[in-house]
Amino acid sequence: MAEELGRIQRPTASQYNGRRKLLLVPLIYGPQADDPTGAAVLQNYWEQMQTQVGALEEALGGLQHIYHESLTIGGPEGLEQLSAADQRSHAFISDKTQSGAVLEPTEDMDVLLETLDLQRCMMIPLASPSVGSRLQEWHADSNRQRYEYIANQIDSTLGENETGLLLISERHQVQFPTDVEVFYVSPPALDEYRRWFQNWMAQQQAAAGQSSETVEEGSVEPDDIDEGEDGESGAD
């Protein structure tokens, strides 16, 4: 079971001497919206997360490996891929690699693309329940393969008495090797972000509902059109 940082005492290297350690960092993204409050909450999370990771690194004797969801290549090429996808992750990981940590390839390209395509397909309204059911089964199997691959990558690269760091979404389903001690990094700002995101989603849904009602109220029914004897509208 993962130990949640902030709710346990700070570990010491001697406690886990000879064991494999993994820092599990929730990877969160803000919605593409001009929301200063959300941007501030997200920035606060990243700052607190980096502080806690730094404290764990020091306590456990350093960081040797880094894993990041969606990365199919590691090293400098992986960093370049990150620079185009996520500036926060790129800056954070660049600093760690300069201190000696290795960015590892984390995902299989074919499985990742298959999973993403299936997610897109599942967003399309379907007329056939059987097709929807088969898509869900296919997506579940693809997800299973994806997370198994990530677990295997960690297992094959994280050596005895080494520490790794994995950045991945909170809804992941990775089953870590039983001999890996997992530390779940959970700064106070993570709960703050969750509350903000829930409120933001509620506001978006309420706004969408009001917009729909406005459209319905402003719509013109056929009976509202005053037609002349020739069937044309009465407005000249």
Helix (H, G, I), strand (E, B) or coil at 5: strand
C-alpha pair distances (Å), 160 with each of 5, 63, 145: 22, 13, 25
Q: What is the mean pLDDT of the chain?
A: 86
66 Cβ contact list (under 8 Å, min separation 6): 93, 96, 97, 101, 102, 103, 104, 164, 165, 166, 167
The per-residue pLDDT for range 174-191, each reduced to its tens digit, is: 999 999 999 999 999 999
The model's pTM is: 0.81
What confidence score (pLDDT) does residue 13 get? 65
What confidence score (pLDDT) does residue 217 get? 54
